[in-house]
Structure 1
Amino acid sequence: MLNFYFKEDIQQLHISDLPKIDHYLNRDISQLMEISKVAVEVNNNGEVLLVIGVGGSFLGARAVIDALTPYFAPNEYGVEVIYAGQNMSGAYLQQLLKYLNKKEVYVNVVSKSGTTMEPGLAFRVVKQYMEKRYGEESKQRIIVTTDAEKGVLKQIADKEGYRRFVIPSEVGGRYSVFTAAGLLPIAVAGIDIQAFLCGANQAELDLDTDNLEQNAAYQYALTRYEMYQKGYSVELLASFEPRLSKLHEWWKQLFGESEGKEYKGLYPSTVNYSTDLHAIGQFVQEGSRIMFETLIHFEEVEADMEIPFTLDDMDGLNYLGGRSMNSINAISKDGVALAHEEGGVPVVKIVMPKLDAYHVGYLMFFFMKACVMSASLLEVNPFDQPGVEAYKRKMVELLKKDAVLVNE
């Protein structure tokens, strides 16, 4: 069920001309079987899968894994998945290697080019660590996910004899969660990738129409565009389940990197309620009217806790005795939405039936489909990221200049 604040016809966009993302879904049965086979191997022989990547090369997988694994025992149903290459902190890498010393380790390096600075540095360090620890066996324990035909990482994989999975050349990192870039770590974590892909496939079928009245993804994109035209500059994505925080981060990159060009676009920001009601809630309720809110809610969450009654009722909460935490959370969601709407913040509601692999796959494909239309309404390319390349060039220039000064 999707409730949209605004919905109007639009004439300036030829919907049939929008770029298609349907081919981003991995339908290669042989590759899916190989991913499942490697996932079983890692689970049988490893305790940790270290995923090295940054941006879309790890955010999609982490979003799904964090959403669908337990809070305090993430490897209960599969190997623990941890991450490197998403920062350049020496302390993080040092402590990571110390942690890995106590575990049996596999490594999955994810990069289309192999030249991005953060994962490149991390892989250089981790590759040396794995070779010292495992010797020749390290070649079996390092798995590469990269472009099929070109790039430094492909060259390294060919030279070293690493097993390799492919990210299709036409698929950018932020759209790659349904390729091996996302599916291998997700499978290793014990999540059903068939259910995940089935959800995305159903979304593809449901959203394969140019009729705005029947296409919820296009309605959401149009709502965003109308908000932008009305002067709103920020979209605030909110949910009431802490495990969705990395899904927020994936969404933030998807829309921020796809739309933020030519000095256009909504600024994508995120909050996790009810925690952030005690941090940013005051601003949302009564601050400057620069934002609208998109609220994600999953009606059924598998785990729950009942509130007990007490004899003295000193805290005055016996009126909630016998209720579940999730039911209270759902009602608080409705209360927050009402308060924000009454305070002048438009609220978009996206409600999914259940927090499971199928519906997370459905939701992520929904957002990808909407993002392509949303960027197209702004008349920007949803698939490039020239601003990211600009900062990379400047960073490399400064590092090379500094290296010369140090060597002198």
Structure 2
Amino acid sequence: MGKPRVQLYYKNVTADIIGRKHGINAEQFQELANQTKPVISELNQMRESGQVAYRDLPYNEDYPRQVKEIAGELEGKYENFVVLGIGGSALGNIALQTALNPYMYNLDEKQRAGRPRLFVFDNVDPAQLASFLNWVDDKLDKTVFNVISKSGRTAETAAQFLTIRNVLLEKLGEKGYREQVVATTDSKQGTMRTITDDAGFKSLEVPDGVGGRWSVLSPVGLLSAAVCGIDIDELLEGARSMDERVKTEDFFKNPAAINAAVNWNYYNCGKRISVMMPYSYNLKDMSDWYRQLWAESLGKSKDLRGHDIFVGPTPVKALGTTDQHSQVQLYREGPNDKLFTFLQVNEFENDITIGGNPDCAPELGYLGGAKMSKLLNSEKIATEYALLKDKRPCMTVMFDKIDAHAVGEFIYLFEVTTSLAGLLFGIDAYDQPAVELGKEATFALMGREGFTDMAKDISPVAEIDDSFLI
């Protein structure tokens, strides 16, 4: 195994740096190691028994082969690739695209290098979709849609799909409809599988036992990445290389174990907000992906024994340097209830030399001729320094550079971190029961059969009381 391209730096949570009141001393770290080692072993055993299917996605040879086969069939035929999905069926796709393709990818044909634009619709905002449909109207024959839904019954994705279905049938007929939809869904059953088989769509599998927020390294996330030129083999290789590090039971050599234990420790010490702050625009949407992974996995009302627990660290995203000017005032002088995780890039693929200062502004001379990357990383270090002055615990995930291998490492690191944190909290990190009531209430409000009683129960909430409207 070569040198890791992603590493976790955790010195700035120690008592030596921020003091005993807010920092973790050597004795406490050893106690965390003793508490976490059995959890690492338990997770490894769960994997061997097939209970954590996402752990083996980087080793599946069929999925990348099937993805590349469909991507090859689409290559050169289409100018637009549109993902229809929500939550885990969208956030990973967005994060991969932002991380591994240029900022101007959709607008600059030269930077796209013959590949299609990527659009990901993860909402049912009518103004947003209408704007896109108006734009794409005369480009439909050059547009392919990837609908991602395990069951096909998620209201948002179903509504998106039904809308696109009507547009394709009206404009391009049965042949266009059949050829310009790729379904990523259950391989055997469900509404979308039925529709797929009936229409004759190309299709890929949403793996059994892999929830949406854990699925980015499956066909759910890999197809849009491959179509847009991302090296999915390197992405998966990066995940495999991280797997070697996060399955070791040596606590102090396992970055996921330390990450999980530090987060768990601080939650129990009253620091219940987890801030992820990348100092790289490319990594900003990894924070969105992380927010879902962390929130849905760890926010639970019951522990594994069925007892009330109401646990869950709140994930917050920030972007350096942007949010130094919107959030850091709170982070430094507000409640000391947060753990900060920075994402830092040591070597940027492209860099800029800052222009020289005019003679009338000598005070800007310190900037002239410097690299923009030096300024960005100096701002990160300065922000961390300021937070440490106020005894705020900080960790940093360090990227040698941003490439597919490193992004694969990062994804796998935080997936396993989340699994280990779930075991430390004593909860099921793989379900999301609280999401279901909102789904069912939506069904009731939309008039779905079988939800009449719930619709009546909701009516007092749905009705506006004018006496409280000002």
Fold equivalence (TM over 0.5): yes
**Per-residue deviation, 1:300:** 1.4
How big is each residue's C-alpha offset from its partner over 1:247-294, in whole Å with a ceiling of 9 and x where there is no partner? 110000001000000110100111001111111111111112221211
Distance 1:10 1:296 in 2: 28
Distance 2:298 2:353 in 1: 43
**SS of residue in 1 equivalent to 2:34:** coil
**SS of residue in 1 equivalent to 2:209:** coil
Label 1:403 to 1:370 Cα distance change in 2 as closer, same or farther (>3 A): closer
Mapped contact 2:39–2:423 kept (Cα < 8 A): no
**Per-residue deviation, 1:30:** 4.1
Moved more, 310-319 or 340-349: 310-319
Moved more, 372-381 or 22-31: 22-31
Distance 2:360 2:270 in 1: 48
* Residue in 1 that maps onto 2:61: 29
Label 1:303 to 1:313 Cα distance change in 2 as closer, same or farther (>3 A): farther
* Residue in 2 that maps onto 1:332: 379
**Per-residue deviation, 1:31:** 3.6
**SS of residue in 2 equivalent to 1:316:** helix
Distance 1:357 1:228 in 2: 32
Structure 2 residue 360 is matched with structure 1 residue 321: no
Structure 2 residue 208 is matched with structure 1 residue 169: yes
Counterparts of 1:257-272 in structure 2, within 5 Å, are 257-262=296-301, 263-272=310-319
* Residue in 2 that maps onto 1:53: 85
How big is each residue's C-alpha offset from its partner over 1:331-373, in whole Å with a ceiling of 9 and x where there is no partner? 1111110101111211011112111111011100000011000
**Per-residue deviation, 1:26:** 4.5
* Residue in 2 that maps onto 1:222: 261
* Residue in 2 that maps onto 1:62: 94
Counterparts of 1:146-225 in structure 2, within 5 Å, are 146-225=185-264
Moved more, 372-381 or 64-73: 64-73
Moved more, 209-218 or 30-39: 30-39
**SS of residue in 1 equivalent to 2:323:** helix
**Per-residue deviation, 1:315:** 6.2
* Residue in 2 that maps onto 1:275: 322
* Residue in 2 that maps onto 1:308: 355
* Residue in 2 that maps onto 1:100: 136
Mapped contact 2:95–2:289 kept (Cα < 8 A): yes
**Per-residue deviation, 1:83:** 1.5
Mapped contact 1:25–1:178 kept (Cα < 8 A): yes
Give the letter for the 1:336 counterpart.
T
Mapped contact 1:24–1:178 kept (Cα < 8 A): no
**Per-residue deviation, 1:28:** 3.9
Structure 2 residue 420 is matched with structure 1 residue 373: yes
* Residue in 2 that maps onto 1:137: 176
Label 1:348 to 1:112 Cα distance change in 2 as closer, same or farther (>3 A): same
**Per-residue deviation, 1:137:** 2.6
How big is each residue's C-alpha offset from its partner over 1:197-246, in whole Å with a ceiling of 9 and x where there is no partner? 11111111222211211111111000000001111110010011123221
Distance 1:183 1:177 in 2: 7
Q: For 2:104, which of 43, 50, 72 is the aligned residue? A: 72
Distance 2:56 2:166 in 1: 34
Aligned CA-pair RMSD: 1.9
Compute the TM-score of the two structures, normalised by the length of structure 1: 0.94
Distance 2:58 2:263 in 1: 29
Give the letter for the 1:3 counterpart.
Y
**Per-residue deviation, 1:313:** 5.0
Label 1:117 to 1:223 Cα distance change in 2 as closer, same or farther (>3 A): same
User: Based on CA coordinates, which of the two structures has the bigger radius of gyration?
Assistant: 2
* Residue in 1 that maps onto 2:40: 15
Q: For 2:126, which of 65, 90, 93 is the aligned residue? A: 90
- State, as a whole percentage, how many aligned pairs show the same letter: 28
Distance 2:177 2:60 in 1: 27
Distance 1:94 1:100 in 2: 10
Compute the TM-score of the two structures, normalised by the length of structure 2: 0.82
Q: Which runs of 5+ in 1 are unaligned?
A: none
Moved more, 213-222 or 307-316: 307-316
Give the letter for the 2:159 counterpart.
L
Distance 1:37 1:173 in 2: 23
Distance 2:89 2:358 in 1: 53
Mapped contact 2:79–2:117 kept (Cα < 8 A): yes
**Aligned length, in residue pairs:** 404
